[in-house]
Amino acid sequence: MEPRTPFPYTSLVLALISSLALAIFGLHPVAAIAVLIVWVGSLFLAVEQPPDTSSKRQTNGLNTDSMSQLIENAQSPLLITKRNKVLVANKVSRRVLGGHIVGQDTRVIFRQPQAVALFGSNRDGTAIVKGLARRRDIWRINRQSIDENTAIIELTNKTAEADISRAHTDFVANASHELRTPLAAIIGYVETLSEDPENIDSETSKRFLATILREAQRMRNLVSDLMSLSRVEAEKHEEPDETVELRSLVLRAANDAAGAERKDRLKLDLDEDLRVRGDTQQLEQLVRNLVDNALKYGREGSEVNVELKRGPGGHARFAVRDQGEGIPSEHLPHLTRRFYRTDPGRSRASGGTGLGLAIVKHIVERHRGRLDITSKPGEGTQVTVRLPIMQEDVATAEA
């Protein structure tokens, strides 16, 4: 309900005095009363008139103050424009584009040809612009008219979707390349053996067949790792609910990774049995991947240290340390990327797929843990995984 204008009692008194004065100075009493009636009537009309709204911001009946309050805390950047000039910009849009945009022409703010064409045509529609807030940003602009001169503009950040799409494209390209290389070798050797089998001696045949077998195993390992990575990524938002005893799991998985021929290189230092909420199969894969990497890339015959300790803050600390050549510091941030290799030739020669640490990273993330990789050239590399211990075990230890 709108407030009423206070009744003008002072003006009413003034009207009575003026009418009386007119009568005293010779104006006919009827005429004086008529003047009084007209004057008082105008005062009543003024009281009934709604208060002046000229101080409020109005746009063809649209109260922009109310609109500003309505959109201020929206999650998406929103602008209200009149004849392409910004009247209202909510908090998110001011953070993305700057507070100075209020009052500016939208064609000056966005500048890209697609946006200029959209706003210049004064029509509803969408446009895609790049580099709006940062160089690689991608935004979709959606313009919808409110009336003939006024419109609302919504901005949607599409950068993450574009990054995911690009990552998927790169992944498919890399996976195709990794599969095509051994497949080409297999086809080449098979064709050679098939063309003139009578003139190929047994030693050459054996060498060719050994190569075919090695490349086929490489393809099998790659397909297996691709399937593992896909499964781990699909389950990464599902928190594991099994109770896993880490000591027995690490002992079993580390010995499996080493095999009989490399078992003597393992140096195990496993603390008390620590329990975590986890996925047994994935945790075994994590241990096998890390131990196998350390054995492959450590110096020939050198020891690989495998530790399981109770760490601070209610965490189990699992660490694998080799005595290899180490990894230069510029490579460390990229080691968990798919198909990333510091030495591609050596990795392929040792049977690596380039996916082992990517799988480890996703497994650690699913188990709400933390992964750290440290290395010094010439001294070796250590990979440390910290997993939260079950709360009842933490309480027992603190007691």
Q: What string of pLDDT tens digits covers the 399 residues of the chain?
A: 444 555 555 666 666 666 666 566 665 666 666 656 655 666 565 555 554 444 445 555 556 667 777 788 888 899 888 888 888 888 888 888 888 888 888 888 888 888 888 887 778 888 888 877 777 788 899 999 888 888 888 988 888 777 777 767 777 777 787 788 888 989 988 988 888 777 778 888 888 899 899 889 888 888 888 888 888 888 878 888 899 999 999 999 999 999 888 989 999 999 878 899 999 999 999 999 999 999 988 888 889 999 999 988 889 999 999 998 888 888 888 888 888 877 766 666 666 678 889 999 999 999 999 999 999 888 899 999 999 998 766 555 555
What is the tens place of the pLDDT at every residue in 69-109? Answer: 778 888 889 988 888 888 888 888 888 888 888 888 888 88
The answer to whether residue 3 sits within a structural domain is no
126 and 219 fall within a common domain = no
The answer to whether residue 62 sits within a structural domain is yes
Model pLDDT, residue 51? 46
223 and 82 fall within a common domain = no
Q: How far is CA 103 from CA 53, 86, 109, 142, 149, in A?
A: 22, 5, 10, 19, 15
The answer to whether residue 1 sits within a structural domain is no
Domain's final residue, options 157, 173, 207: 157
141 and 185 fall within a common domain = no
Model pLDDT, residue 55? 41
CATH number of the domain bearing residue 79: 3.30.450.20
Domain ranges, residue 64: 58-157
136 and 202 fall within a common domain = no
How many angstroms separate the CA atoms of 262 and 249, rounded? Answer: 19
394 and 271 fall within a common domain = yes
How many angstroms separate the CA atoms of 102 and 108, rounded? Answer: 12
What is the tens place of the pLDDT at every residue in 240-261? Answer: 889 999 999 999 999 999 988 8
Model pLDDT, residue 198? 77
- Number of domains composing the chain: 4
Model pLDDT, residue 7? 56
332 and 214 fall within a common domain = no
What is the tens place of the pLDDT at every residue in 247-305? Answer: 999 999 999 999 888 989 999 999 878 899 999 999 999 999 999 999 988 888 889 99
How many angstroms separate the CA atoms of 32 and 21, rounded? Answer: 9
**High-pLDDT (> 90) share of the chain, %:** 22
366 and 263 fall within a common domain = yes
Domain's final residue, options 234, 258, 280: 234
Provide the CB-side half-sphere exposure for 322 (13 A, CA).
Answer: 23
Q: Where are the alpha helices (DSSP H) in 196-268?
A: 202-234, 246-262
- Sign of the CA dihedral with 245 first, then 285, 289, and 255 last: positive
CATH number of the domain bearing residue 208: 1.10.287.130
Chain-centroid distance, C-alpha 320 = 30
246 and 374 fall within a common domain = yes
21 and 76 fall within a common domain = no
310 and 372 fall within a common domain = yes
Q: Residue 152 in contact with residue 78, Cβ under 8 Å?
A: yes
Domain's final residue, options 234, 251, 279: 234
The answer to whether residue 53 sits within a structural domain is no
385 and 270 fall within a common domain = yes
Model pLDDT, residue 53? 45
The answer to whether residue 285 sits within a structural domain is yes
Comparing C-alpha atoms, which of 331, 298, 321 is closest to residue 384?
321
Model pLDDT, residue 280? 94
Model pLDDT, residue 348? 62
203 and 135 fall within a common domain = no
Q: What is the DSSP letter of 101?
A: G
